[in-house]
Structure 1
Amino acid sequence: MSDNSNSKTYKSRSDYRHFITIPTRWMDNDVYGHVNNVQYYSYFDTAVNRYLIDQGVLDIHHSEVIGLVVKTQCNYFRSIAFPEDVTAGVAVSKLGNSSVCYEIGLFKDGETDAAAQGHFIHVYVDRASQRPVALPTALRTVLEQIAS
Structure 2
Amino acid sequence: MSDERRGDYAQLLPIPTRWADNDIYGHVNNVEYYAYFDTLINTWLIAEGGLDIHGGETIGVCAESSCRYYASFSFPEVVEGALRVGHLGRSSVRYEIGLFKAGMDHPAALGEFVHVFVDREQRRPTEIPQRMRAALERLLVERPDDDL
TM-score by length of 1: 0.92
1:37 aligns with 2:30: yes
Alpha-carbon distance in 1 for matches of 2:20, 2:3: 27
| Counterpart contact for 2:49–2:135, Cα < 8 Å | no
Identity %: 50
Alignment match, 2:79: 86
**Alignment partner, residue 14 of structure 2:** 21
Structure-2 residue corresponding to 1:119: 112
For residues 99-122 of structure 1, the C-alpha deviation after alignment (integer angstroms, 9 at most, x for no partner) is: 000011001111111000111000
* Aligned positions, number: 141
The whole-number CA distance in structure 1 between the counterparts of 2:52 and 2:15 is 20
Provide the secondary structure at the position in 1 that maps to 2:32.
helix
Match of 2:56 among 41, 63, 67: 63
SS at match of 2:38: helix
- Which residue of structure 2 aligns with residue 109 of structure 1? 102
Distance 1:114 1:83, change over 3 A: same
After the TM superposition, list the runs of 4 or more consecutive aligned residues in structure 1 that deviate by more than 6 angstroms.
none
* Residue among 128, 131, 134 paired with 1:138: 131
Tell me, in whole angstroms, the C-alpha distance in 1 between the residues paired with 2:4 and 2:25.
26
Q: Give CA deviations for 1:38-94 in whole Å, capped at 9, x if unaligned.
A: 000000000000011111421110111010001000000001110000010000000
AA in 2 matched with 1:115: A
How far residue 10 of structure 1 moved from its aligned partner, in angstroms, is: 3.6
Structure 1 residue 135: Cα displacement: 1.0
Shift of 1:11: 1.4
Q: What is the one-letter code of the residue matched to 2:80?
A: T
Letter in 1 for 2:92: S
1:147 matches 2:147: no
Q: Partner residue of 1:53?
A: 46
Amino acid at match of 1:127: R
CA distance in 1, matches of 2:134, 2:28: 34
Paired residue secondary structure (2:14): strand
Comparing both structures, which one devotes a greater share of its residues to helix?
A: 2
